Chains A and B, each alone.
Chain A
Amino acid sequence: MGGYAPYVWSTFGITLVVLVINVITAKRRLRSVREQLKLRVARDARRRSKE
């Protein structure tokens, strides 16, 4: 690539990494919020059924 190879590849690589990081963090956040809420709802339901 005429000596530009490390520069070009590193930019594309970093871009790919950042895009992947964004996908992973977004998915992880959604999943963790969902799970926390599920736990909470289940806990409240149990408490209410005890009363």
Chain B
Amino acid sequence: MYLPNWMHKLASPPHFFRISGWLAPWLLWPAVALIALGFYAGLVLAPADYQQGDGFRIIYVHVPSAYLSTLIYGLMAAAAAVGLIWRMKLAYAVAAAAAPIGAWFTFLALVTGAIWGKPMWGTFWEWDPRLTSELILLFLYLGFMSLRTSFEEPTKGDRAAGLLAVVGVVNLPIIHYSVIWWSSIHQGPTIKKLDAPSITWEMAWPLLTLILGFTLFFAGLLLQRVQAEVLERERNARWVTEIMRPGIEGG
């Protein structure tokens, strides 16, 4: 199958390893700066909401987490698909590295959503579409990670978990809409909306900053984890033993 030259190069583990080595800090440091700025803006600068008061500020950590939890799952499934179709080892490494990060963000989305719920709806947990779908997403991540590590041969685990991820991504929208339908026939008395009702620019820009910051953070983190994955998977390869020799820079 035709692939552009830069893709071929990128797919080669030693090349990717080198690139991610210098690229990661360029993603992580700006991410830290953006997150710090976003936190400050969200906590201090943004005006309090008319309806929810200062409670709405939780949106600044909840929304980026939730958005990333689904983005990462999509990336994980895409990487798994690439691995299954083109048998690209690096793709499997990316999927394996992305999974725990995605699971953490899903956990964050659930926890921040639950804490937001307490002052807003009076309970820590509600079976509304958003939270319920996040919970299922967490199960999908955990299933992926469990399946991948339950085989003696790592390649088998990669492929089995990869297939699961692809099947899960097809099912995810179906699950989401099923939950929406199901919750729509239980119209509760309170309006369970997790969005800030009318959002001004002063409220919006910290959110965008944090979404960007979280995304860059994830990208940098992913590169680091992929580095570790690649080293481990390719430990018998020549290029690895070369750079691990004592005295070699970068080793």
- Interface segment out of the listed B101-109, B152-160, B178-186: B101-109
Q: Are B246 and A38 in contact (CB under 8 A)?
A: yes
Which residues of chain B are near A21, meaning CB under 8 Å? 104
Complex CA distance for A11 and B179, rounded to whole angstroms = 26
B211 → A minimal CB distance (Å):
13
Give bound CA distance, A12 to B43, whole Å: 9
B221 in contact (CB, < 8 A): yes
| Inter-chain contact A37/B221, CB cutoff 8 Å | no
Q: Do residues A34 and B231 form an inter-chain contact, with CB atoms below 8 A? A: yes
Cβ–Cβ contact B245 & A45, under 8 A: yes
Interface string of A16-29 (1 = CB under 8 A from B): 10110111011101
Interface residue? B39 (CB, 8 A): yes
* Interface of A (DSSP majority class): helix
B116 contacts the other chain (CB 8 A): yes
In the bound complex, CA of A47 to CA of B203 (Å):
64
- Tell me whether chain B's interface is mostly helix, strand or loop, or mixed: helix
B148 within 8 A of partner (CB): no
Contact of B54 among A4, A14, A25 (CB under 8 A): A4
For A23, the closest partner residue in chain B by CB is: B221
Contact code string B97-120 (vs A, CB < 8 Å = 1, else 0): 000110010011001100110110
Contact of A18 among B43, B104, B119 (CB under 8 A): B104
The 8 tightest CB contacts between A and B, nearest first, are: A4-B55, A1-B54, A15-B61, A30-B228, A41-B244, A2-B53, A26-B224, A11-B112
Measuring CB to CB, which residues of chain A are less than 8 angstroms from any residue of chain B? 1-5, 7-8, 10-12, 14-16, 18-19, 21-23, 25-27, 29-30, 33-34, 37-38, 40-42, 44-45
Ordered by A's residue number, 20 sampled pairs between the chains whose C-beta atoms are within 8 Å are A1-B53, A4-B57, A4-B119, A7-B119, A8-B55, A11-B111, A12-B39, A12-B43, A15-B61, A16-B39, A18-B107, A25-B100, A30-B224, A30-B225, A30-B231, A34-B244, A37-B235, A38-B246, A41-B246, A45-B245
